[in-house]
């Protein structure tokens, strides 16, 4: 009985087999992992009950354990759609003398998430290496030419080559900084959220871009109340969000356009009676956040983003093909924005229309927001981190 409750409460899946390989005990985790819910298994042979792919993998090691040829075996296999990866460890259970086999203990761990994370990580590393290689190659080529053939080049050519090598070095620096920012965001570190005045952060961002905007002939606007409630956030990270979004807005807005920064409290609560069943006549209503928040918008009258591209621009390294040739960038800016806002328990959203413009917006928790709700929101979002890696 003791054994039974021990096995039942194990976090891993566990199955106990007798000396003939028949099921004696199964714990709830194993039932879930093998999709055995509600089935009677006791007395049946293990391999008969498993999905075919698993049975094929498990049969040979199980037979050698039953024959006494070996005492343990460690098998990893994937099955099902969507694929899940399990690690299955078989261990012989012998009597006190160690002579005769009493049964086999099978433990099962779900490695699916680990495998997916590893795959995402490798994809990311291969993308980063690829992106690093291009500017490095360019720097190397131009510096090499200057070094080897410098005396045959005109002064103007030398200047041009140095200029290219210099610009490529900047590109490399941007890339490395962005990758470092992303990896900091993806670590499990909990960022300190404290009361932040948003208006000064927005003013500072616009100050930084003033010159650039004047040169481009784009008008910058700040549309924010003097008395804005404070939000719970991290000053440096929020400054980076503004910097990335305003930088993008400016990049993709032509002369004569406008870029506006807005912030206003947003009572994101439902005015309708939520108990009212939604019907086609009744307006429906979804309670997204019971607490008031501060809505922030960054709106430009720029090139806009097509519907297909809208779905992809938050992916790492994604850049809209025809728009980027003239513009500097790494394709990581929006991934960083998304990561930062997730750390604030919120999400960035957008509306955009080609040729009309783009507005990015998000809601930040107010200073007096319930800390507990924030924590829960963050926890709910953390599984999405894996997607962020993709």
Closest distance to ligand ADP from the beta carbon of 314 (Å): 7
Q: Choose which of 73, 107, 205, 330 interacts with ligand ADP (CB under 6 A).
A: 330
With the CA atoms of 195, 200, 203 and 205 taken in that order, what torsion angle do they form, in degrees rounded to the nearest 10?
A: -50
- Residue 16 interacting with ligand ADP (CB under 6 A): no
Tokens representing residue 74 in the block: 């460690």
- Residue 136 interacting with ligand ADP (CB under 6 A): no
- Residue 334 interacting with ligand ADP (CB under 6 A): yes
Q: Apex CA 87: angle with CA 82 and CA 93, to 5°?
A: 145
- The DSSP string of 204-268 is HHHHHHHHHHHHHT-EEEEEE-SSPPPEEE-HHHHHHHHHHHHHHHHHT--TT-EEEEEEEEE--
366 secondary structure, DSSP code? B
- Residue 305 interacting with ligand ADP (CB under 6 A): yes
- Residue 300 interacting with ligand ADP (CB under 6 A): yes
Part in contact with ligand ADP (CB under 6 A); list of ranges 197-205, 211-219, 329-337, 368-376? 329-337
Closest distance to ligand ADP from the beta carbon of 252 (Å): 3
Residue with tokens 């003033």: 210
Considering beta carbons, is residue 249 or 345 the nearer one to ligand ADP?
249
Considering beta carbons, is residue 54 or 319 the nearer one to ligand ADP?
319
Hey, is 66 helix, strand or coil? helix
- Residue 232 interacting with ligand ADP (CB under 6 A): no
Closest distance to ligand ADP from the beta carbon of 108 (Å): 40
- Residue 103 interacting with ligand ADP (CB under 6 A): no
- Residue 358 interacting with ligand ADP (CB under 6 A): yes
CA distance 370 to 372: 5
Considering beta carbons, is residue 21 or 249 the nearer one to ligand ADP?
249
Q: What are phi and psi of 232, to 5 degrees?
A: -95, 115
- Residue 339 interacting with ligand ADP (CB under 6 A): no
- Residue 313 interacting with ligand ADP (CB under 6 A): yes
Mutual angle of helices 198-216 and 235-251, in 10-degree steps? 20
Q: With contacts defined by CB under 6 A, how many residues of the chain interact with ligand ADP?
A: 21
298 secondary structure, DSSP code? E
Please list every residue from 246 through 265 that binds ligand ADP, using CB under 6 A: 248-249, 252
> Exposed, middle or buried: residue 385 (CB in 10 Å: 0-12, 13-18, 19+)?
middle
Binding site for ligand ADP (CB under 6 A): 244, 248-249, 252, 300, 302-303, 305, 313, 318-320, 323-324, 329-334, 358
């Amino acid at each position: 009985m003791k054994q039974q409750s021990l096995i039942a409460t194990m976090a891993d899946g566990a199955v106990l087999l007798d000396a003939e390989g028949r099921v004696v005990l199964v714990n709830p985790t194993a039932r879930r992992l093998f999709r055995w819910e509600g089935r009677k298994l006791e007395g049946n042979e293990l391999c008969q009950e498993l999905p075919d792919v698993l049975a094929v993998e498990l049969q040979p090691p199980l037979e050698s354990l039953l024959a006494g040829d070996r005492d343990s075996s460690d098998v990893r296999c994937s099955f099902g759609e969507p694929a899940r990866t399990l690690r299955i460890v078989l261990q012989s259970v012998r009597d006190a003398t160690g002579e005769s086999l009493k049964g086999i203990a099978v433990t099962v761990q779900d490695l699916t998430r680990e495998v997916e994370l590893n795959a995402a990580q490798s994809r990311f590393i291969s993308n980063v290496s690829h992106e690093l290689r291009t500017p490095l190659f360019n720097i190397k080529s131009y510096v090499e030419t200057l070094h080897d053939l410098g005396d045959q080049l005109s002064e103007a050519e030398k200047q041009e080559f140095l200029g290219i090598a210099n610009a490529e070095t900047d590109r490399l620096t941007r890339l490395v900084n962005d990758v470092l920012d992303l990896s900091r965001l993806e670590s499990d570190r909990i960022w300190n959220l404290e009361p932040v005045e948003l208006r000064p952060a927005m003013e500072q961002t616009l100050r930084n871009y003033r010159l650039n905007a004047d040169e481009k002939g784009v008008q910058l606007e700040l549309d924010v109340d003097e008395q804005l409630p404070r939000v719970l956030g991290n000053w440096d990270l929020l400054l980076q969000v503004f910097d990335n979004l305003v930088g993008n807005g400016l990049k993709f807005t032509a002369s004569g356009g406008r870029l506006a920064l807005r912030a206003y409290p947003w009572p994101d609560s439902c005015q309708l009676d939520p108990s009212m069943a939604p019907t086609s006549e009744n307006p429906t209503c979804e309670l997204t956040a019971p607490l008031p928040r501060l809505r922030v918008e960054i709106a430009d009258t720029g090139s806009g983003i097509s519907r297909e591209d809208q779905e992809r621009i938050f992916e790492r390294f994604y850049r809209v093909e025809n728009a980027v040739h003239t513009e500097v960038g790494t394709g990581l800016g929006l991934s960083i924005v998304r990561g930062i806002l997730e750390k604030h328990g919120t999400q960035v959203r957008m509306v955009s229309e080609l040729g009309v413009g783009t507005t990015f917006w998000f809601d930040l928790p107010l200073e007096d927001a319930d800390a507990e709700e924030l924590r829960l929101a963050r926890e709910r979002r953390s599984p999405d981190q894996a997607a962020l890696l993709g």
